[in-house]
Structure 1
Amino acid sequence: MAIWLKKSFFVLISILTFGLVTPSQAFLNEEGQALAKSSGKASTVERAEEDVMEEESLFTREDFLEHIMEQAEQNAYMKFGTKIKPAIEVEFRTVILPKMEYAIEQTSLQYGDDDLSNLVISEVPQYAKTEKIFHIYDKRSGEDIIRFHVRKDHPPKAGYYFNFHYHTVHDDFQAHHDLGSIFWAKNTPPQWMSVS
């Protein structure tokens, strides 16, 4: 619709309704963009879009690691539940978590900064028997990049251990990369996600 026709329509409606009905925000935005284009100035909407694009391009490897590690720690504690977490939290935080961070950092080096913004962490599975803590996957393709797991080991006459390990896409998730084990006790540990 021509600009003069839109303005005429706006004036006509304003006169007929005595200003009780105002034009929609979409109409005003459209008009503002048209005026900005004709005057050669960028609209506030366009400037806001440019700011968002600039912010996304400032996403760094450090930002990625910080964000992923916060989520990784939260997911691990959710997996442990309130019965297991208090018993292994200190050792997990000091021994296992730094190794997880190193594995994620090394894996992230194979991706450019632009690709890192598409790597996200999965949810904690709601079923208790699986080894999965979380996976990091590419949200564009849905394919896993690295998988972090924990399993309950029970060597003969040695009690129970939680074995933390990960698998990567680079060997088709076949190799078992050990992060370490944490001793639980002689008695059987509770189910994952158990609450006190």
Structure 2
Amino acid sequence: MKKWLQQLMIISVAFVTLGVISPSHEIWDSLHEKENIKQPGLPESGSAYSVSFETTFERDPLPAASEDELISGARKLAYTKFGTKIGPAIGDEFDTVIFPEMERVIRDTFGEQFQMDRKLAISERPSGGHAEKIFNIKDAETDKNLLLFHVRTEKRPQDGYFFNFHYHVAADDYETHHTIGEVYWSKNTPPKWLS
């Protein structure tokens, strides 16, 4: 009979409040304490549990890329970040003005290191929403970022929205914005990245 009464009470509270409020479980705990009900196989309150994990998880290192793979990966990740709404609108200007500068920065920064067979890798996915990250180039062996390429959306009064492409280097702890160039969007708010 008690079980039936509990179920009726739960249903009536859910119905009256349209499911927004659920009955507190303290009600059932106090009922169980009064009846001194113990179910076999359940631990008593106050029991201590401990869990330990023996396995440690390590990230798989990014595969090393050649100079040409870094360049083609950079272009692919940039267009992935632009998505289908921004990409077609700024693609021509990006290809003629911004991307050649990105390529120059990559070749100038890592030109000698490719000769020395240093293992470099490019990040796998750009960030979406309003975040700036396009891609990172990192040391594949130490997993340390060496060069970060970003794009920032800037709103200028009377002029509209611009995409500011820039990069950061590990040498100055990624603090300085090294400008690559800007692309005008329009006076309308641009869509989010990856859309």
Aligned to 1:146: 147
- Secondary structure, in 3 states, of the residue corresponding to 1:98? helix
Aligned to 2:166: 165
Q: Distance in 1 between matches of 2:127 and 2:166?
A: 20
What's the offset of the Cα at 1:112?
5.2
What's the offset of the Cα at 1:67?
1.2
Once the two structures are superposed, residues 52-101 of structure 1 have per-residue CA deviations (whole angstroms, 9 ceiling, x without a partner) of xxxxxxxxxxx933211110010000000000000000000000001001
Q: Distance in 1 between matches of 2:115 and 2:96?
A: 28
Within 5 Å, give how 1:17-166 maps onto structure 2.
Answer: 64-111=66-113, 113-116=115-118, 118-166=119-167
What code does the residue aligned with 2:104 have? Y
- Secondary structure, in 3 states, of the residue corresponding to 1:180? strand
Match status 1:183 vs 2:184? yes
Q: Distance in 1 between matches of 2:152 and 2:91?
A: 16
Q: Distance in 2 between matches of 1:125 and 1:188?
A: 20
Q: Distance in 1 between matches of 2:127 and 2:114?
A: 32
Q: Distance in 1 between matches of 2:67 and 2:174?
A: 22
Say how many residue pairs are matched.
Answer: 131
Q: Distance in 2 between matches of 1:175 and 1:109?
A: 22
Structure 1 runs of 4+ with >3 Å offset: none
- Secondary structure, in 3 states, of the residue corresponding to 1:167? strand
TM-score (norm 1): 0.63
Q: Distance in 1 between matches of 2:128 and 2:191?
A: 14
Contact 1:124 1:132 (C-alpha < 8 Å) held by counterparts: no
TM-score (norm 2): 0.64
Q: Distance in 2 between matches of 1:132 and 1:72?
A: 12
Aligned to 1:38: none
Contact 1:75 1:124 (C-alpha < 8 Å) held by counterparts: yes
- Secondary structure, in 3 states, of the residue corresponding to 2:66? helix
What's the offset of the Cα at 1:156?
1.3
Contact 1:65 1:101 (C-alpha < 8 Å) held by counterparts: no
- Secondary structure, in 3 states, of the residue corresponding to 1:111? helix
Q: Distance in 1 between matches of 2:81 and 2:140?
A: 22
Contact 2:67 2:114 (C-alpha < 8 Å) held by counterparts: no
Cα 1:64–1:91 shift into 2, 3 Å = same
Q: Distance in 2 between matches of 1:109 and 1:69?
A: 12
Cα 1:121–1:155 shift into 2, 3 Å = same
Is there any run of 5+ residues in structure 1 with no aligned partner, and where?
1-62
Give the number of the structure whose alpha-carbon radius of gyration is greater: 2
Q: Distance in 2 between matches of 1:126 and 1:102?
A: 23
Query: What is the RMSD of the two structures over their aligned residues, measured on CA atoms?
Result: 1.5
